[in-house]
Amino acid sequence: MRYNTFMANTAFDPLAWRRIKAPSLAELEALAGEVFRRLPTKFRQLCADLVIRVDDFPSEEVVDAMSVESEFDLLGLFHGVGLPFRFESAAVQMPNMIWLYRRPILDYWAGHEETLGAIVQHVLVHEIGHHFGLSDAAMAAIEQSAEEARGAMP
């Protein structure tokens, strides 16, 4: 059922929400795959060997390594060596991986006005930024510049 149709139906039947369930791991992975397919071709080509996985939560080891207070504090994670830092002469290189964490993403979605698709896109693009070798600070500066440019548009 499409969201607009669902919202129209709930205006008349508030109990219609009983049928709605949070997306499963497979459904969130399908959403992430669709978000990825809609990214610009050149962007996707630079991600040819990138592996994208969805899990409910980060592992305890990841929570400890990232120094976050709760497993809900991490929506996604890049694991690997950014493209600018890879060496072709390295004997064996594991593929770069991006993890999207379903339960923290759903928790974030429940508390914000953004659509689930927009949140998944933001997290995925952010983690792909790490694949490209960008730091969190560099990505924050890029996002700030983009927001300022949108605000300056007539």
Go through the domains of the chain in sequence order and give each one's CATH number.
23-152 (3.30.2010.20)
Share of the chain above pLDDT 90, in %: 55
Q: Quote the pLDDT of residue 11.
A: 59
Give yes or no for residue 92 having a pLDDT over 70.
Answer: no
> Which whole-number Å values give the CA distances from 91 to 75, 78, 81, 87, 94, in the listed order?
32, 22, 14, 9, 10
Q: For residue 130, what pLDDT band results from cuts at 50, 70 and 90?
A: very high
Separation of alpha carbons 54 and 105, rounded Å: 11
| 97 bridge partner residues | 51, 79
Q: For residue 3, what pLDDT band results from cuts at 50, 70 and 90?
A: very low
pLDDT per residue over 28-86, tens digit each?
999 999 999 999 998 899 898 899 999 999 999 999 999 999 999 999 999 988 877 77
- Encode the chain in three state secondary structure: CCHHHHHHHHHHCHHHHHHCCCCCHHHHHHHHHHHHHCCCHHHHHCCCCCEEEEECCCCHHHHHHHCCCCHHHCCEEEECCCHHHCCCCCCCCCCCEEEEEHHHHHHHHHCCCCCHHHHHHHHHHHHHHHHCCCCHHHHHHHHHHHHHHHHHCC
Give yes or no for residue 149 having a pLDDT over 50.
Answer: yes
- pTM of the predicted protein model: 0.81
Average pLDDT over the chain reads 85
pLDDT: which is higher, 24 or 12: 24
